[in-house]
Structure 1
Amino acid sequence: MLSHGEVVLRLVIAAILGGVVGLERERLESVAGLRTHMLVGLGSALVMLVSAYGFSDALVGSHVVLDPSRVAAQVVSGIGFLGAGTILFLRQEVIRGLTTAASLWTVAAVGLAVGGGLYVAAVATTALILIILALVKPLERRLFRNQHRHFRIEADRGSLPLERIESEIAAAGLAVQQMTLTHGDTVDWINLSFVRGAPQETMASLAAKLHSIEGVRRITLQTKTAKGR
C-alpha cells in the first residue's frame, strides 16, 4: 500500500500536468479549459489509485482475485461523454471541439499514468501534447494551406431564397463556414465563405446555378489563400 504522502503527490502531479494542457486550451478560449483539464487529470489519477490499491482489504481471502486494471479501464471509455460535450456541430460538415475532446481523452491517460506511478511517461506525454497543440498547428497550416472561396451574391430586395441557396450548395458537396446577409435599399447581399477550397469548375458550376435563381443580379467569386500563423 502506498504512503499517504505518495498518494497526495500523485494526485497533485496529475492535476498539474492536466492544468498545463488546460492552459493551452484556455489560451484559445476553448470550451474545456484549465479547470476542466485539471479535474480530468486529477480524477483519472484517483481512479487509478482506487483501482490498483483501493481493494487491498478485500484480498485477505485466499480465493479472492481482483483485476487492478478493471476500474481504470472504464476511464478510457467513460471520458467519451465529457469529450462529446465539447464537440459542436455548427452546420453541415462544420465541426468544432474535436481537438479539445482529444486533449481531454489524452489527459485522462496522463492521469492514469501518474496514478500508476509512471511519472516519466506522464511528463513525456504532457510535453508531446503541448508540442502537438501549440507547435504542430502552425506547421499544419503552412503545409496544408487552402484556397478559401468566397461568394458575394447580389439580388433584388427580399428575393433571396436562402433554402434554395443552401440546397444548391449541399448538392455541390460544399459546406459553408460563414454566411452573412446584408439588406440595402433596393438590393440584398449575401456573403458565403466555404470551409475548404474547392475546384474552380465546381465553384463555377455552383455560381451558374445560383445565378439562375430568380431575383439574383450578380455573383462575385473571390479566392483567398490561407496563410499559416
Structure 2
Amino acid sequence: MVTRLALAALAGSVIGLERERLLWAAGLRTHMLVCVGSCLIMIVSAFGFSDVLGTKNVVLDPSRIAAQVVSGIGFLGAGTILLRGEVVKGLTTAASLWGVAAIGLAIGSGLYVPALATTALVVGILAGIKPFEERWRERMRSQTLRMTVRKGTMSIDTLHAVTGERASRVRQFTTRPASDPDLDEVTVTFVRLSRTSFEAIAAKLRETADVVSVDTVNS
C-alpha cells in the first residue's frame, strides 16, 4: 500500500512539473496531493471495510467511496479556471487535475500499467500537443489590415484580384470616406491565414498603385 502511495506521488509529480514550469497555481504539489489522495481513497475503498464485509445484515459497496472522487475533484478544478476579459484560462490545468485523480485511483487499485501509460499520455498531451495547438490558434486568429486608397478604387473584387487564392479568407470588408475627399479608408479582416501569408498580402497591397498606405491592426 505504501508503494502504491509513493508511485502515485511520483506520477502526480511528473504531470505537476509540466504545469509548474508554466507557473500555474495548480502546480507540482497540488498534482501530487491530488494523486496521492485519490490513491489513498481507492485503497480505503478496496481494503478499508474488509473487517465488516460478510458480517450478517451488513451490505456495503466499497466502490462508492472511490466514485465520489470523480465528481468531488471538480471543486478543485473549478478553482483553477479564471475568466480574463473574454478569455477563459485554466481549463487544461483543471483537466490535468481530473486526470491525476484518475491515475491515483488506478494505482490505488493496483492497475499499474494503465496508470503509468496514462501518466505518459497526459504529459505528452500537455507538453507535446501545445506547440501544435498554438500554431493552429495563431492560424485561426483574425488579422486586420487598414488601408488608405484613392476614392472608388478598392472593391472586394479588386482585393480578390490582389490576394488571389486567399480571397476566401476575407471575413469582413468595409469602406468609408476618409478625411481627404479624394481618399477612402478600407478595413479588411482575414481569418485562417498564417502570419507569413498575411504579411505577403500586405506587401502586395502596398505595391498597388491606388493604395496610399497599409497598416496592420493588432487583434
TM-score (norm 1): 0.63
Deviation at 1:200, TM superposition (A): 3.5
CA separation in 2, counterparts of 1:226 and 1:31? Answer: 32
Q: 1:50 to 1:27 in 2, by over 3 A?
A: same
- Letter paired with 2:69: V
State which drifts further: 94-103 or 141-150.
141-150
Tell me, yes or no, if the aligned pair for 1:31 and 1:97 is still in contact at 8 Å: no
Deviation at 1:60, TM superposition (A): 4.7
Tell me, yes or no, if the aligned pair for 2:170 and 2:188 is still in contact at 8 Å: no
What is the match of residue 89 of structure 2?
96
What is the match of residue 23 of structure 2?
29
Alignment of 1:137-152 (within 5 A): 137-143=130-136, 145-149=139-143
What CA RMSD, in Å, does the superposition of the two structures yield over aligned residues? 2.8
What is the match of residue 112 of structure 1?
105
Deviation at 1:58, TM superposition (A): 1.6
Q: 1:18 to 1:151 in 2, by over 3 A?
A: farther
Q: In the alignment, does 2:16 pair up with 1:56?
A: no
The structure whose Rg is larger is 2
- Letter paired with 1:135: G
- Letter paired with 1:18: G
Deviation at 1:30, TM superposition (A): 1.4
CA separation in 2, counterparts of 1:199 and 1:96? Answer: 29
Instruction: Report the secondary structure of 2:52's partner residue.
Output: helix
Alignment of 1:1-229 (within 5 A): 7-92=1-86, 94-143=87-136, 145-149=139-143, 200-201=171-172, 204=173, 225=194
CA separation in 1, counterparts of 2:186 and 2:96? Answer: 42
What is the match of residue 3 of structure 1?
none
Tell me, yes or no, if the aligned pair for 1:148 and 1:225 is still in contact at 8 Å: no
Question: Which blocks of at least 5 consecutive residues in structure 2 are unaligned?
Answer: 147-168, 179-184, 197-219
Q: How many residues align?
A: 164
Tell me, yes or no, if the aligned pair for 2:35 and 2:103 is still in contact at 8 Å: yes
Deviation at 1:57, TM superposition (A): 1.6
1:155-198 Cα offsets, whole Å, 9 max, x none, are xxxxxxxxxxxxxxxxxxxxxxxxxxxxxxxxxxxxxxxxxxx9
Q: 1:52 to 1:221 in 2, by over 3 A?
A: same
CA separation in 2, counterparts of 1:226 and 1:44? Answer: 45
Deviation at 1:149, TM superposition (A): 3.2
